[in-house]
Structure 1
C-alpha cells in the first residue's frame, strides 16, 4: 500500500463516536434475541423433559428466567433512559451492565450438565446443535463489542468443557466412551473458529462506522465551505452595491462642479472648496478599500518601534481640526506625554479612523481626543457628543460593511472604518473598548499595551487563516 493511501489516524472524537455507535448497534439487536432465546429454552425443555429429574430441569429454567428478566430490564432501561443521550452516556451505561451477557452464557453453558452423557445420543445431538446455533448467533448480535463477544464465547465454551471434564474425569474416571474426547476436541475447534469469525466481523463493523463518521465529517465540511462561499458571494454583492453607490455620489458631484465651473468661471472661489471636499471623499473611500485589500491579502507589514504619543496626536490634530471646524464642531486635545511600543503607521491609522468616525457621526458639540497614563499603561480615548450607538448594534459595528440603520453619516463610506480598526487593534495587541449612550455620545478607549512584533505577526497570520482556511493548508508545513 502506498503511503498516501494509508487512512488518516482516528481522532479522539472519532473513536468516541465509533464506540458509541457500536454500543447502539449491539443494543438494537437485543430485544429480538430475547424471543429467540425463549424459543430455544422451550426446545431444550421439550427434548430433555424425559431424560432428567424434573427438579434439575425446573431449577435450570428458574435460573434462566431470572437472568432473562435481568437482561430484559437492562434493555428496557437503555431504551427509556439512555437511547437519546450523548455518546458518553451510552458508553458509561454499557460499562455498568456488560456482565449480563457473560452471565447469560454461563447459564446456557450449564445446560451441558442436563444432557451430556445423560441423554440418548439423538437428544444430545439436537442439544449440541442448539448450542452451536446459539454460539453462532451470538457473534452476530455481540460482535459490535469485541470484549463482550469474547467473554460470551469463552464462558459458554469454558462452562461446557468444565462440565464435560467433570463428567469424564471425576464421575466416569476416564472410563467413558471414546467419542467424549472427540466431542471435546470439536468443541474447542468450533470455539476458536467462532472467535476468529467474530473478530473479523467486529473489524468490519468498526471500519463501516469509521467510514460513516468520516463521510459525515466530509459532508459537514463541504456544507460549511459551501455556506462560506455563499456568504462570500453575498458580501461581494453587498460590497459592490455599496461601492457603486458610495463612489458614484462624490464622482457625480465632481462632474457637476466641473461642468458648472466651465460654464461660469467666475464661481471658482465658491466651487473650488466643494471640488476639494468631493476629491477628499473619493480619496477616503479608496483609502478604506486599500486598507481592506492589505488586511485580507495578509500583506500587513509591521514596524514596531517606540512611538511618541504626543507627536502622533498633534499630527492627527492638524489633520482633523479643519474637518471639525467645517462642521462647526470643537476638537479638544488632552495629551499626556509618553511613548509606547507599536507600529506608528498602523497606530495612526487606527486613531485616525476613530477620530474620523467620531466627527462623521457628531452633528453638534465636539470631539475630545485624550491620552492618559493608567496603571495598565498609556491609553487613548476618543469622546464625541454624537448620536450614540444602541446596545443591539455595538458588536455589529465592527463587522465588514455594517452601517447602523438610521444614523446620519452612514450615507458616506463603505462601513469599513471600524472593521479595519478592529482588525488592526487585534494585530497590534491594543485592546479596544466601547461605551455609548443613544443621544448622548460615544467613547472609544484604546489601551496601548506594548506590541510584540513576533506575536503581532502570528496574530495577523491567524486572522488570515481564519478568513481563508485553504490559505493556511496551502502554506502550512
Structure 2
C-alpha cells in the first residue's frame, strides 16, 4: 500500500519549519566563529607590516575590524530579540543582515592586493593559506543556509580574482610568470570545489532537519492517536455504565410486568401499555446504538433522491404527534410545497431526532415543525417552548453521550440523539443552526442544500478519519441566542 501523499499545507509547514531551523543552525555556528575574523586581522597586519604600504594596510585593517564588530552587534541583537522567535522572524532577521557576510568576504578578498606579488613568497603562501582556510571554514559555518554560503564564497573568490587581475593586467601589464596564471586557475578550481562541497553539506543538513520534523510529526500523531484511543475507551466505558443504568429500569420493569401479568391475567388491559412503553425504551436504545455503529464504521449507505418537503413533514407528524399530545403539548406543522435532494431515510432520522428531542424537553406549550423557502434554499425548523439550553452547553450537546446536567428528561435519554444529528447533517451537507434561551425554548434550523452523492461519501469518510484522530466534526453546527415561539 502506498502512503498517502502529503497535503500542500503539510508540505508548506514542513518547509517553513526546516527553513527556520537552518537559520537557527547558521546563527549558532556564528557564535563559535565570531572571534575568528577579529583575531586574524592583527595576524595579517603583523605579517605584512614590512611588505605592504602602511596606509592601505591600516585602512584595510580598519574595515576588517568594523565588519568583525558588526558581526558582534548582529549576534547580540539576534540573541536578545530573535533567538526564541518563529520562522518568519528568523528569516526576516537574516534578510536584514544578509549583506554582512559578503561584505566581510569582500574585505578579505581585497587583502590580496596587499600581498599578491608584493610580499615574499613565504608570506604570500601563509596569506593564501589563511584565505583558503577561511573559505573552507565558511563551508562548515554557513552551509546551513545555502544562499548565504554562496554569496560569501562568491564575494571572496570574485574579489580575490579581481585583485589578482588588477595586479597582473593593470600594474604589471601582463608581464608575469606562468605560475601567476596557474594560481588564477587553481583559485577558480578551488572556488567551484568549495561551492559543490557546500551544496552537498547543505543538502545533508536539510535532509536531517526534514527527518527530524517528520519524526516529531510522527510522535505527535502517535501521541494524539493514543490519547484519542484512551478517550474513546473512557467514553465507551462511560456509555456502557450509562447504558447499563438506563436499560436496567425498562428491562427490570418488563420482568415485573410479565410476572404481574402471569399472576393476574385479568389486568392485561392495564399492564399491556406499560409493557409496550418499556419495550419502546429498549428499542430506542438499540436504534441509537445501531445508528452510532453505522456512522462510526463508515458503512452508512446513501440513497440520494428528490423528495417532497410536505410529505416528509406529514410522515413525521404521524409519528410524533401522539407523543406530544400524550404529554399535553400542542404539535403544529407548517409545510410549504417544494422538493429537496437528499437521502429520505437519513433526513427523516435527522429531523425526527430533533422533534423527539423537542418533545422530550418540553413540559408545557408546544412544538412547531416548519418548512420554509429562503434565499439560501429550503429550510426545516423545529421550535419548542422547553427548558432551553445554556450557551455554555450549546456545542457540548452535539458530542457523544453528553447530557445537560439538571435537565428534566435527561434521565430518559442516552446522549446520542443530537450527536447523530450533527453527524448526519455533516454527511448530507445540510448546515444546522441552533438558537436557544434557557427557560424560553430552542429552535433548530436545518438548511437543506442539495446533497451530492460523491461529496457526501467523502464527508462520511473524512468524518471517520477525524474520529480516529480524536477530533470532532461539528463544523456544520452554528450556535447562538434565540427565542422559541409562544
- CA gap of 1:373–1:164, structure 2 versus 1, over 3 A, is closer
Tell me the distance in 2 between the aligned counterparts of 1:4 and 1:293. Answer: 28
Native 8 Å contact 2:157 2:187 kept in 1: yes
Tell me the distance in 1 between the aligned counterparts of 2:204 and 2:305. Answer: 62
Tell me the distance in 2 between the aligned counterparts of 1:177 and 1:378. Answer: 93
Tell me the distance in 1 between the aligned counterparts of 2:192 and 2:90. Answer: 30
Tell me the distance in 2 between the aligned counterparts of 1:376 and 1:147. Answer: 53
Choose 142-151 or 372-381, whichever is displaced more.
Answer: 372-381
Q: SS of 2:34's equivalent?
A: helix
1:119 alignment counterpart: 119
1:130 pairs with 2:135:
no
Tell me the distance in 1 between the aligned counterparts of 2:73 and 2:222. Answer: 43
1:356 pairs with 2:356:
yes
Tell me the distance in 1 between the aligned counterparts of 2:2 and 2:453. Answer: 38
Choose 340-349 or 107-116, whichever is displaced more.
Answer: 340-349
Residues 357-414 of structure 1 deviation map (CA, whole Å, 9 limit, x = unaligned):
1121122233233334445444333222221111111111111111111111111231
- CA gap of 1:357–1:126, structure 2 versus 1, over 3 A, is same
1:383 alignment counterpart: 383
What displacement does 1:104 show?
Answer: 0.8
Tell me the distance in 2 between the aligned counterparts of 1:177 and 1:159. Answer: 22
- CA gap of 1:378–1:118, structure 2 versus 1, over 3 A, is closer
Pairing 1:20-419 to 2, within 5 Å after superposition: 20-176=20-176, 179-419=179-419
Tell me the distance in 2 between the aligned counterparts of 1:242 and 1:150. Answer: 67
Q: SS of 1:160's equivalent?
A: helix
Native 8 Å contact 2:228 2:468 kept in 1: no
What displacement does 1:245 show?
Answer: 1.5
- CA gap of 1:372–1:161, structure 2 versus 1, over 3 A, is closer
2:447 alignment counterpart: 447
Tell me the distance in 2 between the aligned counterparts of 1:466 and 1:314. Answer: 36
Residues 179-220 of structure 1 deviation map (CA, whole Å, 9 limit, x = unaligned):
444544443443333333222222221221121122122222
TM-score scaled by structure 1? 0.89
Choose 356-365 or 327-336, whichever is displaced more.
Answer: 327-336
Tell me the distance in 1 between the aligned counterparts of 2:250 and 2:103. Answer: 86
Tell me the distance in 2 between the aligned counterparts of 1:373 and 1:176. Answer: 94
- Structure 2: any 5+ residue segments left out of the alignment? 471-486
TM-score scaled by structure 2? 0.87
- CA gap of 1:459–1:175, structure 2 versus 1, over 3 A, is closer
What displacement does 1:236 show?
Answer: 1.7
Residues 133-192 of structure 1 deviation map (CA, whole Å, 9 limit, x = unaligned):
222211111112223223322332332333333333433345555544454444344333
Tell me the distance in 1 between the aligned counterparts of 2:453 and 2:323. Answer: 34
Choose 202-211 or 398-407, whichever is displaced more.
Answer: 202-211
2:482 alignment counterpart: none
Residues 76-135 of structure 1 deviation map (CA, whole Å, 9 limit, x = unaligned):
333334333321232233233222111211111122222223223332232222222222
Choose 250-259 or 376-385, whichever is displaced more.
Answer: 376-385
Tell me the distance in 2 between the aligned counterparts of 1:457 and 1:4. Answer: 22
What displacement does 1:455 show?
Answer: 3.8
Choose 185-194 or 215-224, whichever is displaced more.
Answer: 185-194
Tell me the distance in 2 between the aligned counterparts of 1:107 and 1:264. Answer: 111
Tell me the distance in 1 between the aligned counterparts of 2:130 and 2:13. Answer: 41
Choose 137-146 or 89-98, whichever is displaced more.
Answer: 89-98
Tell me the distance in 2 between the aligned counterparts of 1:198 and 1:303. Answer: 61
How many equivalent residue pairs? Answer: 467
- CA gap of 1:95–1:322, structure 2 versus 1, over 3 A, is same
Tell me the distance in 2 between the aligned counterparts of 1:335 and 1:131. Answer: 88
1:473 alignment counterpart: none
CA RMSD of aligned residues (A): 2.8
Choose 345-354 or 70-79, whichever is displaced more.
Answer: 70-79
